[in-house]
Amino acid sequence: MILGAVGMLQFDVVAERLKTEYAVEASFEPVTVQTARWITCEDAKRLAEFTRKLEEHLAEDAGNRLAYLAPSRVNLELTMERWPEITFHATREHAGA
């Protein structure tokens, strides 16, 4: 599971809430993700190829929507250039239901 936060304090707050409210111990490890983009594509065949080739950079969010996890801005830009049929959305709401 990947949790995004702004600053270490937010991770500490989540860990404390999990512990006090649910009796769950949590630990966090950093991942190399600069930004996430939800993806859509009209061409199912091309989307399948994209997901096969970039599997290590893909994840599903809590709503089972596919997201591309870019390790850097440069990586995101290059991926967008190489896959013009894929639409990269900055927010899930723009990716549709």
Q: Give the model confidence (pLDDT) of 12-66 as tens digits.
A: 999 999 999 999 999 888 888 899 999 999 999 999 999 999 999 999 988 899 9
* 64-83 mean pLDDT: 95
CATH architecture of 32-95: 2-Layer Sandwich (3.30)
User: What residue spans in the chain does CATH classification 3.30.70.3280 cover?
Assistant: 32-95
Closest CA relative to residue 1, chosen from 20, 14, 19, 17: 14
Q: Say yes or no to pLDDT of 97 above 60.
A: no
Instruction: Establish how many alpha carbons lie within 13 A of residue 21's alpha carbon, considering only the half-sphere containing its beta carbon.
Output: 6
What is the side-by-side strand order in the sheet with 66-70?
Answer: 58-60, 66-70, 35-40, 87-89
Q: Say yes or no to pLDDT of 5 above 80.
A: no
Structure confidence at residue 50 (pLDDT): 97
Structure confidence at residue 95 (pLDDT): 60
Instruction: Quickly state the pLDDT bin for 96 (edges 50, 70, 90).
Output: low
